[in-house]
Amino acid sequence: MPQDSPPRIPRRARQPRGGTTARGAKRRAELIAVAALLFADRGYRGVGVGEVAQRAGITEPGLLYHFGTKEGLLHAVIDQRDAASREFAAELARIGGVDAIRQLPAFARRNQAAPHLVRLFAVLLTENLDPAAPAHDHFVTRYRQLRADIAGILGTGRDRGEFRADLDPGVKALEILAFIDGLHTQWLLDPEAIDLTGAVESYTVALVRDLTDGAGG
């Protein structure tokens, strides 16, 4: 399977401002939370820095002191949104194999409890499909890492004999991500009709059955 080429390094500074003290870090986190809610509702392009500042009860220069620019605020929001997901994915990668795959419903339960974060991700991803968009490279890198993490989990299971020997981890990783993203999109559009956690639980049972069919372990 062809390997992904290295992503371009985003040309932006990630140095936090105004967060060198506990008070500064707390205020920065509060500003990120306000911006995240607004971005999830109307997108990054539909929200001005002044509106974020007003909603947070701070001046626009005060807001920019913490993030430098609106783009800096965007990346801070994305980093905060992704922190828990990265930690969860890293933990599953350490477990590997069938036990890690069986944790997929836990991921769904967490997302179902925080729909605004799922919406935030979907909105920002759509806004950054254009290669020239400010967070395009972030999402390219994120998906490459997710594919690699899932493929690593699957490869570990295959090497242990838990999964079938003919498994292609890279292809299966694409399938799993496609299911998760597609399901979340349908759930965001029609949450009353879609049981997010139930669908992932059902898929996980079928996935484990498929992965372990004919395995030697």
pTM over 0.85: no
SS (H, E, C) the chain: CCCCCCCCCCCCCCCCCCCCCHHHHHHHHHHHHHHHHHHHHHCCCCCCHHHHHHHHCCCHHHHHHHHCCHHHHHHHHHHHHHHHHHHHHHHHHHHCHHHHHCCHHHHHHHHHCCHHHHHHHHHHHHHCCCCCCCCHHHHHHHHHHHHHHHHHHHHHHHHHCCCCCCCCHHHHHHHHHHHHHHHHHHHHHCCCCCCHHHHHHHHHHHHHHHHHCCCCC
Asked if 197 and 105 touch (Cβ cutoff 8 Å), the reply is yes
Alpha-carbon distance of 178 to 65, in angstroms, equals 39
Comparing CA positions, the residue from 64, 54, 66 lying closest to residue 25 is 66
Residue at 53: amino acid letter: A
For the chain, residues with pLDDT lower than 70 are 1-20, 216-217
Alpha-carbon distance of 61 to 63, in angstroms, equals 5
Burial of 1 (0-12, 13-18, 19+ CB in 10 A): exposed
What pLDDT score was predicted for residue 1? Answer: 43
